[in-house]
Structure 1
Amino acid sequence: MTDVPGITSRRFRHERLLSMTLPTYEHAVRLLAAAAEARFASISAVIAIANGGLAPAIGISSVLDVPNYRLAAKHNPPDAIYTEATGHVICDMSALAAALNGQQLGGTVLLVDDICGSGATFTAVQPALRPYLQPEAIMRTVALCRNAGTSLDPDLWVWTVDDWVCFPWEQPSRSAATIEELPILERVEPT
């Protein structure tokens, strides 16, 4: 377990739940893949932070036609909406270690998650991932969403959000909150 110091709290307005439809998600994956390809050196691999990063990482790696891998990291004990991040991140590199079988990744590697909420997951995973990368490898962080309260900016993201996001692969919330769909955007951040 890694304690991540200096991580800011996520910002939630508690006014509505933000919903990402499947077409909006698919469009965002294509945007992120195109932006990564245009802005960074040739992408050699994509690594998903499971569980939330699995779907976008698979989508991005498919668009870019590069291998994808996974690792697990968790810091939200329950998955209930508006659960505040603890800053205590548990990293499990066993799936990545098994897939690499002693090899190290080189080139430019995308580390993908669904959301950069507080920044704790990206901050904890990056040093844990270093032994699995060649010394000259470059790591870039990518997320579908960035919470407005975080002090960490991923290298690429689509939406800056200030309320809870429901992703297409999650069970719909039973909350009585108003549901607002995230819009389809035509650019990624930072612009």
Structure 2
Amino acid sequence: MDKVYLTWWQIDRAIFSLADELRKKFMPDVIIGVARGGLIPAVRLSHILGDIELRVVDVKFYVDIGTHNEKPVIRIPIHGDLKGKKVAIVDDVSDTGKTLEVVIEEVKRLGAEEIKVVCLSMKPWTSVVPDFYVFRTDKWIVFPWEEFPAVSRE
């Protein structure tokens, strides 16, 4: 599978672009960062938008490039209810959309008044087209936080 490598500068520009759109069209009360890939964008958006409340959900789906479980599983749930809240669900990419489907259902179950999905990117085949995204690609995306694995000496 072809890959596209993104730099920290590109990610930062993309996050600021998303923040500008959110300010104009949907200021959330709560940001839900989808672990792991959505955490850095979620934290940055929270800071840029004025320290908006940030919560985390951990969903496991992908095992390796192009390999995933049959169904995403929530491993760390969202804490507390979201009754009456405007919620932005933030992830790095909407690929199959299955992870986001699970998170959207959970956020609805917790009583959110309004939900928007915010991603840096999306794949053309996704079942969940984000309400806000920066680019679309059919390539495997390598984000800067994934690029350099640490090596340890024993």
Flag whether TM exceeds 0.5 (same fold): yes
Shift of 1:148: 1.7
Q: Which residue matches 1:179?
A: none
Q: 1:150 to 1:87 in 2, by over 3 A?
A: farther
Shift of 1:93: 4.1
Residues 118-165 of structure 1: per-residue CA shift (max 9 Å, x gap): 11011111112223334xx11100110101222321111111011100
Shift of 1:63: 0.7
Which of 73, 77, 86 is the matching residue for 1:90? 73
Which of 44, 55, 71 is the matching residue for 2:40? 55
Q: Which residue matches 2:102?
A: 124
Higher relative contact order (CA 8 A, sep 6+): 1
Q: TM-score, normalised by structure 1?
A: 0.71
User: Hey, what's the Cα distance between the residues in 1 that align with 2:58 and 2:107?
Assistant: 11
User: Hey, what's the Cα distance between the residues in 1 that align with 2:32 and 2:128?
Assistant: 19
RMSD value, Cα: 1.8
Secondary structure in structure 2 of the residue aligned to 1:26: helix
Q: Which residue matches 1:20?
A: 6
Shift of 1:172: 4.1
8 Å contact kept, 2:33–2:90: yes
Q: TM-score, normalised by structure 2?
A: 0.86
Q: For residue 69 of structure 1, what is the amino acid of its counterpart?
A: R
Q: How many residues align?
A: 148
Identity across the alignment (%):
25
Asked if 1:133 corresponds to 2:111, the answer is yes
Asked if 1:45 corresponds to 2:68, the answer is no
Residues 71-102 of structure 1: per-residue CA shift (max 9 Å, x gap): 11111123xx3x244441101344x32xx3xx
Which of 129, 135, 160 is the matching residue for 2:136? 160
User: Hey, what's the Cα distance between the residues in 1 that align with 2:140 and 2:147?
Assistant: 14
User: Hey, what's the Cα distance between the residues in 2 that align with 1:27 and 1:92?
Assistant: 31
The structure with the larger Rg is 1
Q: For residue 104 of structure 1, what is the amino acid of its counterpart?
A: L
Q: 1:106 to 1:127 in 2, by over 3 A?
A: same
Shift of 1:68: 0.8
User: Hey, what's the Cα distance between the residues in 1 that align with 2:84 and 2:9?
Assistant: 32
Q: Greater shift after overlay, 143-152 or 45-54?
A: 143-152
8 Å contact kept, 2:82–2:107: no
User: Hey, what's the Cα distance between the residues in 2 that align with 1:132 and 1:117?
Assistant: 24
8 Å contact kept, 2:119–2:133: yes
